[in-house]
Homo-oligomer: A and B are copies of this chain.
Amino acid sequence: MIQNLDGLIEQYRSELFDSVLPFWLENSIDKEYGGYFTCLDREGKVFDTDKFIWLQGREVWMFAMLYNKVAPRKEWLDAAVKGAEFLKKHGHDGNYNFYFSTTREGEPLVEPYNIFSNTFATMAFGQLAKATGSKEYEEIALKAWNKVLERRDNPKGKWNKLHPGTRNLKNFALPMILCNLSLEIQHLLDENAFKRTTDDFLHEVCDVFIRPELGGLVMENVLSDGTLCDCFEGRHMNPGHAIEAMWFIMDLGEKLGRPELIEMAKDTAIRMAEYGWDKEFGGIYYFMDLKGCPPQELEWDQKLWWVHIETLISMIKGYRLTGDKRCLEWFERVHDYVWTHFKDAEHPEWFGYLNRRGEVLLPLKGGKWKGCFHVPRGLYQVWRTLEAIKAEGKSL
């Protein structure tokens, strides 16, 4: 159960600065080749040295963001630059198409088929440009960003295995990430470009993927004409994804002064949390099927760290911005689940992968998809939002 506001603020702040960040600073930096190790076991020991570009970019972003927003600590800037220099030299094909992965030394392993490598590189260089004032980093951020916009209609390019024309689906992930990314690099965009792209992404998320005929549920894939498709991809539901997107929308709503956006995002987040909650074992399912058919993903019932941490952020932001008590109830429910299931009582950083019952499925602290990102970003966001609630004289 949630204690007083001050205690809660301290819980999130201390977990971030005294436990999680030291874990990554101590274990993840590759002093020999630059960049970061992300495959770290329960105690922080490296078990694989491949470098996954999503996670390289995200860790650069994390340390640069802390430097920009919390305190200009040299060790944070050094850590961010260590990753950015690796990405600059080894992370892309020479044309700012960022690879999916490289070897420890920086040899390309998996081609730039995945556009999110570019979105996270954009975030990384955008924040680091702010921290350093470097024109070079600014240019890399914009080049990576422009590739995202260019590739938007066929993100996988020549690696796309779908036969063109038969069933053209569009996916929620890209406009969702772009809602966040446009805010992230607003300082690099002119006002018109920011407004145009943001309106565009917001329209996609709010008018295409959120479905009034389904009571406001958020779909992951719809046909290119905006209609629903009764196929595996078309029935695929990802509650955590939808809930995460809603705090991006709340941030945009605050920035743009559009309270109706915030209200809609808060209601949608609550709806998707209710939809995704496992009433038997607790926690939010990873994937579901709109019609209750067997999903194609065998990991559908697992409980993943990022899903729950993003829910904490959306709920505490929703509460702060709207005062809706249901947000607070959801925050409490997920807070209890997270601190009793994902937090490792014996070693720093959190577990990432639990089975349906909430038991640890993989004891890793970092891997191919889990890096220095969702846990520290979530702790930061919740900590800051709780501080704002306090500063605004509200209570829990």
Contacts and interface: CB of A to CB of B under 8 A. Distances in A.
Contact of A109 (B48, B99, B162, B363): B162
Given A50-B231, A231-B50, A99 B163 contact: yes
Interface stretch (A25-33, A71-79, A297-305, A312-320): A297-305
A158 B160 CA distance: 10
A108 interface: yes
Contacts of A162: 109-111
Interface stretch (A178-186, A240-248, A254-262, A354-362): A354-362
Contact of A111 (B163, B296, B355, B368): B163
A39 B232 CA distance: 10
B166 A107 contact: yes
Contacts of A340: none
Contacts of A109: 162-163, 166-167
B41 A294 contact: yes
Given A299-B298, A368-B296, A108 B232 contact: no
A295 B161 CA distance: 25
A175 interface: no
A47 B289 CA distance: 11
Interface string A86-122: 0000000000000110010001111101000000000
Contacts of A362: 294-295, 298
A248 B254 CA distance: 64
A339 interface: no
Q: How large is the interface on A (under 10, 10 to 19, 20 to 34, 35 or more residues)?
A: 35 or more
Tell me which of A103, A161, A162, A356 has the highest count of chain B C-beta atoms within 10 A of its own C-beta. Answer: A161
Copies in the complex: 2
A367 B299 CA distance: 15
Nearest to A365: B294
Interface string A48-70: 10100000000000000000000
A103 B367 contact: no
Contact of A103 (B159, B166, B355): B166
A214 interface: no
A99 B113 CA distance: 21
A294 B42 CA distance: 10
A263 to B, nearest CB: 35
A345 interface: no
Contact of A355 (B39, B296, B356): B356
A353 B48 contact: no
A293 interface: yes
Contacts of A363: 294
Given A163-B111, A167-B109, A361 B231 contact: no
A219 interface: no
Given A158-B158, A355-B355, A294 B364 contact: yes
A108 B299 contact: no
A232 B368 contact: yes
5 contacts: A107-B167, A109-B163, A298-B299, A298-B361, A298-B362
Chain A to chain B: the 3 pairs with minimum beta-carbon distance, closest first: A298-B299, A108-B163, A294-B362
Interface of A: 39, 41, 47-48, 50, 99-100, 103, 107-111, 113, 158-159, 161-163, 166-167, 230-232, 291, 293-296, 298-299, 301-302, 353, 355-356, 361-364, 367-368
Given A48-B230, A159-B161, A294-B367, 20 more contacts: A39-B293, A48-B231, A50-B232, A100-B161, A103-B166, A107-B163, A107-B167, A108-B163, A109-B162, A110-B161, A110-B162, A110-B163, A111-B162, A113-B161, A296-B368, A298-B298, A298-B361, A301-B355, A355-B355, A355-B356
